[in-house]
Amino acid sequence: MARKKQKDSTTCPNCGETEVKPTKTWQLVSPLPDAKGRITITVMGTFDCPKCGHHWRGVVSKIKAGGSSVEIEGKKGVKKIGEEEEAEEKKEEGEVIELDLSDIDEDEEE
């Protein structure tokens, strides 16, 4: 059975207490970059509710670093640091060379 995705990891899923601070944090680094060549670092944390004592794990924030910019995604939203070049480089078309196979065969016979 699939788990329900919790909207905010700092809110207790048992009693609804808000603004619960993580008791322990650690980082998970993605081994593969995304389409823009950035590495994703996910900061995970364990939470203990002071009201009901419930214990759970969740995502604290995500950091995407690479190129000339850093993107930080947390509970306050997404913050971009540095300049990001979103304009894709235009590929220059090369010169087209057309060959006739019959010309190649004549050269080999001589």
Confidence of residue 68 (pLDDT cuts 50, 70, 90): confident
Give domain status of residue 33, yes or no.
yes
Whole-prediction pTM: 0.61
Give domain status of residue 22, yes or no.
yes
> Which residue segment(s) compose the domain that 59 sits in?
1-82
Give domain status of residue 48, yes or no.
yes
Summarize the confidence of residues 19-45 as an average pLDDT.
Answer: 89
Question: How many structural domains does the chain have?
Answer: 1
Residue 86 tokens read as 């979103």
Give domain status of residue 64, yes or no.
yes
Summarize the confidence of residues 57-69 as an average pLDDT.
Answer: 85
Residues pairing with 62 in the sheet: 42, 73
Rg (CA), the chain: 27
Q: Sign of dihedral through CA atoms 76, 77, 78, 80? A: negative
Q: What is the pLDDT of residue 105?
A: 67
Give domain status of residue 41, yes or no.
yes
Give domain status of residue 15, yes or no.
yes
Share of the chain above pLDDT 70, in %: 79
Q: What is the pLDDT of residue 91?
A: 59
